[in-house]
């Protein structure tokens, strides 16, 4: 059983109610999203949405409960123009996907791409949440946590064995590059969960190695990972990381 590094606090019941009211007022649960959620409920993927684990510009991630008492994660992409500016750049040059005109179609493609990238990474043996389903703007995946509490992000986790965590992440980067033929392109302590071993999340922007900017993104990922571990006292450079990946 994976060991927890620190506990993330569950929101108090009152906070949850407030958050849910805010969600509705920010129209996360527009009619179409509700219909998708009901579809998943009907299919038995989960029984209830419990609370938002995180709410960002592009998406909200919920913990959801299954009938057997276990948990899954439900990532809902928001239909907001501003957050999808960078979209085109990460789709161009990817023969798996064609650029879409409407905002809705773009958001759907983003969810589909996250699901496809998660599958490819998972098949290559990378530590990622197992993807379970996607539809329109929603991706359902394995919940990364313990006893219903999400693991903290690596950025916030107290790392007892940083070298071991680094080795696992670099091996995940190698498998992503060599076997899945992808580059994550947004790797940092904010997109890795502090499980043991660490789990890499947030794959919508990941690109194929044939993408014109794939090498640039790989260098940036290696740079971010090296910096992160240098700050935690590990003797590592981005060249060390790139040597192991290539
Ligand atoms: N599978 C998961 N299990 C538990 N928590 C998750 C999972 N996926 C994401 N999260 C939580 O939700 C947050 C946002 O997810 P992420 O995929 O990084 O989306 P964003 O695009 O909003 O950054 C993460 O920082 C993490 O705390
Ligand atoms: Mg993220």
Q: In this structure, what are the phi and psi dihedrals at residue 226, rounded to the nearest 5 degrees?
A: -60, -50
Please report, for the chain, how many H helices and E strands are present, in that order. 7, 11
Read off the DSSP letter of residue 153: B
Res. 88: pLDDT tops 50: yes
Bridge partners, residue 141, by sequence:
73, 131
- Distance from chain centroid for Cα 46: 19
Write down the pLDDT at residue 79.
86
Local confidence band at 97 (pLDDT 50, 70, 90 cut-offs) = confident
Which of 149, 175, 196 finishes a domain?
Answer: 149
Q: Is 183 in the pocket of ligand 1 (CB under 6 A)?
A: no
One domain for residues 37 and 91: yes
Res. 12: pLDDT tops 90: no
Q: Is 152 in the pocket of ligand 1 (CB under 6 A)?
A: no
Q: Which of the ligands is closest to the CA of residue 61?
A: 1
Strands 192-193 and 199-200: antiparallel
Write down the pLDDT at residue 245.
97
Q: Is 200 in the pocket of ligand 1 (CB under 6 A)?
A: no
Q: Tokens for 92?
A: 């161009």
Closest CA to 143 of 77, 207, 51: 51
Catalytic residue annotation: 186, 202
Write down the pLDDT at residue 206.
97
Cα radius of gyration (the chain): 18
| Lowest pLDDT segment from 11-20, 111-120, 189-198, 218-227 | 11-20
Q: How far is the CA of 85 from the centre of ligand 2 (A)?
A: 16
Bridge partners, residue 123, by sequence:
none
% the chain with pLDDT above 90: 73
One domain for residues 129 and 27: yes
One domain for residues 43 and 119: yes
Closest CA to 135 of 37, 7, 15: 37
One domain for residues 74 and 40: yes
Distance CA 246, CA 244 (A): 6
Tell me whether residue 61 is in a domain.
yes
Q: How far is the CA of 95 from the centre of ligand 1 (A)?
A: 27
% the chain with pLDDT above 70: 86
Q: Whose CA is nearest to atom 17 of ligand 1?
A: 202
Give the mean model confidence (pLDDT) for residues 76-89: 74
One domain for residues 158 and 204: yes
Strands 71-77 and 138-142: antiparallel
Number of the ligand 1 atom closest to the C-alpha atom of 203: 17
Q: Give residue-wise pLDDT tens across range 130-164.
A: 999 999 999 999 999 999 999 999 999 999 999 99
Q: Is 59 in the pocket of ligand 1 (CB under 6 A)?
A: yes
Q: Whose CA is nearest to atom 14 of ligand 1?
A: 54
Write down the pLDDT at residue 1.
42
One domain for residues 164 and 56: no
Number of the ligand 1 atom closest to the C-alpha atom of 190: 25
Read off the DSSP letter of residue 83: G
Q: How far is the CA of 30 from the centre of ligand 2 (A)?
A: 23
CATH of the domain at 131: 3.30.200.20
CATH of the domain at 173: 1.10.510.10
Q: Give residue-wise pLDDT tens across range 24-75.
A: 555 557 889 999 999 999 999 999 999 999 988 889 999 999 999 999 999 9
One domain for residues 166 and 220: yes
Indicate the SS3 state at residue 200. Answer: strand
Distance CA 89, CA 205 (A): 9
Number of the ligand 1 atom closest to the C-alpha atom of 144: 3
Give the mean model confidence (pLDDT) for residues 92-114: 87
218 burial type by CB count under 10 A (0-12 exposed, 13-18 middle, 19+ buried): buried
Tell me whether residue 26 is in a domain.
yes
Strongest mean pLDDT among 3-12, 83-92, 165-174? 165-174
What does each C-alpha distance from 31 to 36, 187, 236 come to in angstroms? 9, 33, 49
Residues 6+ apart with CB under 8 A from 50: 62, 63, 64, 65, 71
- What is the average pLDDT score of the chain? 89
Tell me whether residue 196 is in a domain.
yes
Give the mean model confidence (pLDDT) for residues 87-113: 85
One domain for residues 138 and 157: no
Residue numbers of the domain that contains 116: 22-149
One domain for residues 136 and 218: no
Q: Whose CA is nearest to atom 24 of ligand 1?
A: 54
Tell me whether residue 86 is in a domain.
yes
**Is the four-CA dihedral 192, 118, 107, 21 of positive or negative sign?**
negative
Domain count, the chain: 2
């Amino acid at each position: 059983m994976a060991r927890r590094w620190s506990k993330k606090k569950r929101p108090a019941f009152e906070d949850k109610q407030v958050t849910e009211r805010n969600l509705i007022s920010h129209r996360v649960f527009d009619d179409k999203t509700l219909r998708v959620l009901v579809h998943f409920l009907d299919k038995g993927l989960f029984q209830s949405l419990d609370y938002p684990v995180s709410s960002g510009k592009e998406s909200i991630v919920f913990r959801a409960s299954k009938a057997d008492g276990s948990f899954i994660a439900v990532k809902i992409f928001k239909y907001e123009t501003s957050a999808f500016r960078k979209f085109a750049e990460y789709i161009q040059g990817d023969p798996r996907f064609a650029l879409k005109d409407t905002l809705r179609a773009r958001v759907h493609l983003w969810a589909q791409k996250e699901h496809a990238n998660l599958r490819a990474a998972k098949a290559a043996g990378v530590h990622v949440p197992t993807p379970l389903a996607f539809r329109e703007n929603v991706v359902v995946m394995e919940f990364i946590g313990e006893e219903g509490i999400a693991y903290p992000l690596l950025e916030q986790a107290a790392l007892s064995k940083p070298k071991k965590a680094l080795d696992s992440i670099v091996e995940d980067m190698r498998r992503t590059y060599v076997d899945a033929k992808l580059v994550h392109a947004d790797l940092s302590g904010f997109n890795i969960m502090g499980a043991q071993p660490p789990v890499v999340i947030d794959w919508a922007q990941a690109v194929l190695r044939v993408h014109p900017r794939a090498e640039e993104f790989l260098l940036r990922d290696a740079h971010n990972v090296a910096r992160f571990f240098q700050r935690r006292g590990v003797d590592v450079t981005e060249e060390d990381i790139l040597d192991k990946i290539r």
